[in-house]
């Protein structure tokens, strides 16, 4: 986009933002130009907290569907807008309360283009029935309906604290098998894991790490807990997206290989302009996160379309699970 055209859109966004008394929240994976017009950028936990406490009438959520849904659950009196309705998260779709119509094997084949080893359980209700009394810890990357059927939520930055806060010795963690593997190494509790995954982080393997380390021998490797265990095991540090921002800024080290979605590199470079950052693989692009553009933001502010709302019978129990998480960390 030409600079003049971009400036005109940015001006319009600012004008509408004032008119609507809106706040713009953007996830760390958003396009650089979207991060630049946001009032707050952050990881899932920071954005949930911001959505819960804002005084603005309208929240424009530049991210994926489950994130805007969490904002709508936490702030029912606010109008929550998702600039691109088709921005979903395949991992969040991997667990349903009931159904799905397809087997998990069919689902993974259709949505992701490859088959995957799968557990016997088919739905959240099935796994709960199989393990009565075992609490369910739901990663925020889940639908409102799934949160409503869960005991507590977690994000990549607080999963271990959340598990430790529960009195039970065994917990069910949904939907990310890699986040479960990360947590299992950091708690003595038994974790029964769902076998979902992020199709972006799942592309990484030990070969990517070896190549990147050969190309950048002085760099530290920092990865997201959604990466496969073989990648986590080779990392110097594992943390959420905002955890990576803090770690790289505070570290005396000057060079880093980053194992997460490439959008994070914008903030990393902005926060630490003298340091060097390399993405672990050029395939680390989440197409859903990239759907949102400045044009989508100005359009929803103008039309007030794409409102995300959750019916009270789901919203109230889902809020309980989110509030329980926000209360302990």
Binding site for ligand 13P (CB under 6 A): 28, 43-44, 141, 155-156, 198, 226, 240-241
Q: Contact, 55 vs 77, CB < 8 A?
A: no
CB burial of 130-140 (b: ≥16 within 10 Å; e: otherwise) equals eeeebbbbbbb
58-62 and 136-139 as β-strands: parallel, antiparallel, unpaired? Answer: unpaired
90 is a contact residue toward ligand SF4 (CB under 6 A): yes
The answer for residues whose C-beta is within 8 angstroms of residue 302's C-beta and 6 or more apart is 12, 16
83 is a contact residue toward ligand SF4 (CB under 6 A): no
231 is a contact residue toward ligand SF4 (CB under 6 A): no
> Which helix (H) or strand (E) element contains residue 30?
none
Q: How far is the CB of 246 from ligand SF4 (least distance, A)?
A: 19
Residue 44 touches which of ligand SF4, ligand 13P, none (CB < 5 to 8 A by kind)?
Answer: ligand 13P
94 is a contact residue toward ligand SF4 (CB under 6 A): no
The 10 Å Cβ neighbour count of residue 117 is 9
Q: How far is the CB of 93 from ligand 13P (least distance, A)?
A: 13
Chain positions 1 to 60 lying near ligand SF4, rule: CB under 6 A, are none
Chain positions 267 to 296 lying near ligand SF4, rule: CB under 6 A, are 286, 288-289
d(CA 206, CA 209): 5
Nearer to ligand 13P, 96 or 288 (CB): 288
Of 260, 249, 210, residue with least CA distance to 44: 260
Exactly one of 34, 64, 124, 314 binds ligand SF4 (CB under 6 A); that residue is: 64
Nearer to ligand 13P, 35 or 141 (CB): 141
Nearer to ligand SF4, 16 or 63 (CB): 63
Residue 75 touches which of ligand 13P, ligand SF4, none (CB < 5 to 8 A by kind)?
Answer: none
- Residue the block writes with tokens 């359980």: 121
141 is a contact residue toward ligand SF4 (CB under 6 A): yes
Nearer to ligand 13P, 22 or 87 (CB): 87
d(CA 73, CA 80): 10
Q: How far is CA 123 from CA 54, 127, 195, 213, 305, in A?
A: 35, 7, 11, 40, 32
Nearer to ligand SF4, 89 or 300 (CB): 89
Residue 258 touches which of ligand SF4, ligand 13P, none (CB < 5 to 8 A by kind)?
Answer: none
**Apex 44 CA angle, 38 and 48, nearest 5:** 80
Query: Where do contacts with ligand SF4 occur on this chain (CB under 6 A)?
Result: 64, 89-91, 141, 198-200, 226, 261, 286, 288-289
């Amino acid at each position: 986009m030409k600079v003049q055209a971009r400036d005109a859109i940015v001006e319009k966004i600012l004008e509408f933002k004032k008119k609507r008394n809106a706040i713009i929240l953007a996830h760390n994976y958003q396009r650089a130009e979207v991060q630049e017009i946001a009032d707050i950028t952050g990881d899932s936990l920071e954005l949930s907290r911001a959505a819960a406490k804002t005084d603005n009438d309208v929240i424009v959520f530049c991210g994926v569907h489950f994130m805007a849904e969490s904002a709508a659950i936490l702030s029912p009196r606010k109008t929550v807008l998702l600039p691109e309705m088709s921005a979903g998260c395949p991992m969040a779709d991997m667990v349903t309360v009931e159904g799905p119509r397809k087997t998990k094997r069919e689902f993974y084949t259709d949505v992701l283009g490859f088959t995957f080893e799968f557990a016997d359980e088919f739905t959240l209700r099935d796994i709960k029935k199989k393990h009565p009394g075992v609490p369910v810890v739901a990663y925020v990357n889940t639908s409102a309906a799934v949160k409503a059927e869960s005991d507590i939520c977690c994000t990549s930055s607080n999963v271990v604290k959340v598990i430790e806060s529960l009195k039970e010795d065994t917990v069910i963690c949904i939907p990310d098998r890699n986040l479960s593997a990360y947590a299992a190494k950091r708690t003595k509790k038994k974790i029964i894991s769902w076998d979902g995954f992020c199709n972006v982080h799942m592309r990484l393997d030990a070969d990517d790490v070896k190549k990147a380390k050969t190309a950048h021998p002085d760099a530290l490797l920092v990865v997201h807990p959604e990466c496969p265990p073989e990648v986590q095991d080779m990392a110097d540090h594992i943390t959420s997206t905002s955890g990576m921002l803090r770690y790289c800024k505070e570290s005396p080290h000057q060079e880093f290989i980053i194992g997460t979605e490439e959008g994070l590199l914008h903030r990393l470079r902005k926060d630490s302009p003298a340091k060097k950052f390399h993405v672990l693989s050029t395939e680390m692009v989440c197409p859903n996160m990239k759907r949102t553009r400045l044009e989508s933001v100005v359009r929803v502010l103008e039309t007030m379309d794409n409102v995300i709302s959750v019916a009270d019978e789901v919203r109230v129990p889902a809020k309980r699970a989110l509030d329980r998480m926000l209360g302990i960390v």
